[in-house]
Amino acid sequence: MKIPLQAIVIGGGLGGLWAALRIADAGFPLQLFSLFEVKRSHSVCAQGGINAVLDTKGERDSVRQHIIDTIKGGEYLANQPPIKSLCEHAPGLIRTFERMGVTFSRTSEGILDQRLFGGVKNRRTCFAGASTGQQLLYGVDQQVRRLESLGRIEKFEWWEFLSLLQDADGTCRGIVAMDLRSLEVRAFPAEVVVLATGGFGQLYAPKTTTSTNCTGAAASRCYQQGARFANAEFFQFHPTAMLGNDKTRLMSEAARGEGGRIWVPRNPGEHRPPRSIPEGERFYFLEEFFPAYGNTVARDEAARAIWRVTRQMGLGIGGSDRVYLDLTHLDRGFVSKRLGAILDIYRKFAGTDPLNAPMEIFPAAHYPMGGLWVDFERDASGGMRPGSPSNQATNIPGLYACGECDYAYHGANRLGANSLLSASFSGRVAGESAVSYLKGLVRDSAVPSERMLRAEVERQTAINQAFMESDGPENPYRLHRELGELMTSKVGVVRTNPDLEMALEELQRLRERLRSVHLGDSRTWANQTLAFTRQLRDMIELAMAVARSALERDECRGAHYKAAFKIPIPDGTFPGDPEYEDYRMRWKTNNDRWLKTSVAEWTPDGPRIRYEEVDLSVYPPTDPRDYR
């Protein structure tokens, strides 16, 4: 009897669920792994919206413009054929979400409403109240439940992916996972695996907007088994987050899109409550620095402007790391309706009402543009060839990656509301590619050798055993706090080479200190400290890839900023001016050197970085990004 070819998807966010639906739709048996119930995945945190050109606002918006905005937003670092396909398929994805019953916000005519988001000039962002990510995830979660009830998807919730099963030639033949309750370590043979395990904001904890499960451990495990990790140095710091002890909570960019203004008092010694400070004594610095975009300037520019105003000009509120994000000048009903979730979050977690007093915010680690390196196949139209098994494929045969854990769509920086889009699109593409891969396999589903399965299970069990028996002075949760502080201060919004070198040395020390950890929990049932310590080990490996990639890239591009290598636009000059054209030449020369994908490969002695050409076939870089 021929055994049907088994597929595995790891991760239950938007990317993973789209991939799962696509594979199950094609009739292949699918096992879906998640650390928890899939509907609790980090996708629910995306508040603002999802981009798709519907051109329903009389602004002559076009797919071409969406493509260009995405390419330029990423400072040309992303391969362009995948972006082209992403933007072209966005409206179709929205229509499909709508059929799933996603509660998109409506115009008075009952069609999908669209709003303005950062980094663009047209209203292009669909939204569902102020909880768009949650609504989109529930749409696919419901469809997964439908297929589950038909027996076409089997869920393994509360299981953690530990490692890949690999043939002698490196081909992926399944996974080893651990039941987070019984701690059973088990091999799951499969012919194809899709990794959709999200980002790694927890490297910066607690100064990150991401959920506690966004450790990047799963991607790091693949990286340590030979998967390439690309553009690791590009991490987006969201400019507007409220500080907290456990995490920093995102105040969506929609707050700026809907008219929110960012300011500080002009007088650093200001003591009056914000609303009693006259207009003339307020410094609306984004509006002054970036007249064309004002408060809706792209995230990296906004984050650095806040850094400049607080750290360099010393104008933070009360001398601290905080600036105002003000909604109090807007209509209360309008704000309540459009930004309900933001208001709720702020009231709930800060105890004050943004309708009555401006919010206080600061940048926080939000979204990694980098991730597992994935391939694509370009077709004659210049986009990705539909159905190609190369799309979203990692360099490990049989392993695909999608969503926030891949590096493919956002280059050096991501536009707001493009993440829900790329997660959904890349998930569907990865699913499609996995199907093509399965159909193209010549072998029957020969179960990988018992010996190989047993060896990998034993290797993973030994790691558990070592941690359980380790009895040193280190506490894993305190080590994690140290990791977060180190990454925030030395591999953060603004970077210098001496800091990065120091960070690498400190990471090496953290790696060694983890060997003398004491779990403080010897139970073999639902031992969260064991699972966390394993994650921490892999977070440190990933942090090294981030710091090493950042050290080697001597330029400013998108979210990666080293002041010593900045090529500034000469003040008051514009295209055509000799000084501007001279600047353009320097910008081009820099591109010749640095407009390249950085690719990290794991070695026991630390990451090795090499560079790869970017496919610029859709919109070659002729113009520097200019948000003035």
Partner 1 sequence: MKEWIHLRIRRQDGPETPPYWQTFRLPYAPDQNVVSVLMCLRENPMTTDGRQVEPVAWDHNCMEEVCGSCAMSINGVPRPSCSALIDDLEQPIVLEPLPKFPVVRDLLVDRARMDAGLRRVKAWIEIDGIWDIHEGAPRISPAEWSASYLYSRCMSCGCCMAACPQFGPQSDFIGPAPLAQVRLMNAHPTGRYDKTERLHRIMASGGLSDCGNAQNCVRVCPKEIPLTTAIGELGRQTTLQSLKDLFGQG
Q: Three-state SS string across 521-542, please?
A: CCCCCCCHHHHHHHHHHHHHHH
User: Which stretch in 142-150, 321-329, 413-421, 452-460 sits in contact with partner 1 by CB under 8 A?
Assistant: 142-150
Kindly give the pairing relationship between strand 282-283 and strand 192-195: unpaired
Closest CB to partner 1 among residues 148, 287: 148
Which residue in 98, 179, 270, 601 binds partner 1 (CB under 8 A)?
Answer: 98
In the complex, the smallest distance separating the C-beta of residue 514 from partner 1, rounded to whole angstroms, is: 15
Helices in 179-292 by DSSP H: which ranges? 217-224, 254-257, 285-289
521 near partner 1 (CB under 8 A): yes
Which residue in 9, 10, 30, 42 binds partner 1 (CB under 8 A)?
Answer: 42
148 near partner 1 (CB under 8 A): yes
Q: How many residues bind partner 1 (CB under 8 A)?
A: 74
510 near partner 1 (CB under 8 A): no
Q: Return all residues near 466 (Cβ < 8 A) that are at least 6 apart.
A: none
101 near partner 1 (CB under 8 A): yes
56 near partner 1 (CB under 8 A): no
Residue of 299, 495, 537, 553 with catalytic role: 299
Q: Site residues for partner 1, window 542-601 (CB under 8 A)?
A: none
433 near partner 1 (CB under 8 A): no
Q: Three-state SS string across 286-300, please?
A: HHHHCCCCHHHCCHH
Q: Which two tokens stand for residue 24?
A: 């199950």
Q: Return all residues near 105 (Cβ < 8 A) that are at least 6 apart.
A: 112, 113, 126, 127, 128, 129
Binding letters toward partner 1, positions 171-190, x by CB under 8 A: ----------x---------
Kindly give the pairing relationship between strand 50-51 and strand 114-115: unpaired
Closest CB to partner 1 among residues 189, 354: 354
135 near partner 1 (CB under 8 A): yes
Q: Are 616 and 607 in contact (CB under 8 A)?
A: no
Backbone φ and ψ for 262, nearest 5 degrees, come out as -105, 130
Closest CB to partner 1 among residues 60, 348: 348
44 near partner 1 (CB under 8 A): yes
Q: Site residues for partner 1, window 218-257 (CB under 8 A)?
A: 244-247, 249-250
465 near partner 1 (CB under 8 A): no
In the complex, the smallest distance separating the C-beta of residue 477 from partner 1, rounded to whole angstroms, is: 5
469 near partner 1 (CB under 8 A): no
Which residue in 7, 8, 32, 45 binds partner 1 (CB under 8 A)?
Answer: 45
Closest CB to partner 1 among residues 213, 598: 213
Omega cis (within 30) before 206: yes
Q: Site residues for partner 1, window 332-391 (CB under 8 A)?
A: 341, 344-345, 348-351
Which residue in 94, 162, 361, 491 binds partner 1 (CB under 8 A)?
Answer: 94
In the complex, the smallest distance separating the C-beta of residue 35 from partner 1, rounded to whole angstroms, is: 9
22 near partner 1 (CB under 8 A): yes
User: Which stretch in 14-22, 73-81, 449-457, 555-563 sits in contact with partner 1 by CB under 8 A?
Assistant: 14-22
Cα dihedral 562, 565, 570, 571, rounded to 10, equals 30
Q: Of 544, 458, 465, nearest to 508 (Cα)?
A: 544
In the complex, the smallest distance separating the C-beta of residue 106 from partner 1, rounded to whole angstroms, is: 5
Q: Return all residues near 555 (Cβ < 8 A) that are at least 6 apart.
A: 562, 565, 590, 593, 594
Q: What sign has the CA pseudo-torsion 477, 486, 408, 14?
A: positive
In the complex, the smallest distance separating the C-beta of residue 338 from partner 1, rounded to whole angstroms, is: 13
Q: Are 204 and 481 in contact (CB under 8 A)?
A: no
Q: Of 64, 77, 28, 146, nearest to 598 (Cα)?
A: 77
**Residue 299 falls in the annotated catalytic set:** yes
Q: Are 491 and 483 in contact (CB under 8 A)?
A: no
454 near partner 1 (CB under 8 A): no
Q: Site residues for partner 1, window 102-121 (CB under 8 A)?
A: 102-103, 105-112
Closest CB to partner 1 among residues 477, 574: 477
Which residue in 99, 121, 332, 515 binds partner 1 (CB under 8 A)?
Answer: 99
In the complex, the smallest distance separating the C-beta of residue 241 from partner 1, rounded to whole angstroms, is: 11
Closest CB to partner 1 among residues 526, 569: 526
486 near partner 1 (CB under 8 A): no
Q: Are 17 and 153 in contact (CB under 8 A)?
A: no
Which residue in 41, 65, 413, 464 binds partner 1 (CB under 8 A)?
Answer: 41
Q: Which two tokens stand for residue 251?
A: 């105040």
Q: Are 253 and 118 in contact (CB under 8 A)?
A: yes
473 near partner 1 (CB under 8 A): no
138 near partner 1 (CB under 8 A): yes
Q: What is the Cα–Cα distance from 626 to 591, expressed in whole angstroms?
A: 16
Closest CB to partner 1 among residues 45, 500: 45
Q: What is the Cα–Cα distance from 568 to 586, expressed in whole angstroms?
A: 10
In the complex, the smallest distance separating the C-beta of residue 197 from partner 1, rounded to whole angstroms, is: 14
Question: What is the distance of C-alpha 246 from the center of its chain?
Answer: 20
Q: Site residues for partner 1, window 187-216 (CB under 8 A)?
A: 211-213
Kindly give the pairing relationship between strand 235-242 and strand 229-230: unpaired
Q: What is the Cα–Cα distance from 214 to 404, expressed in whole angstroms?
A: 10
Positions annotated as catalytic residues are 299
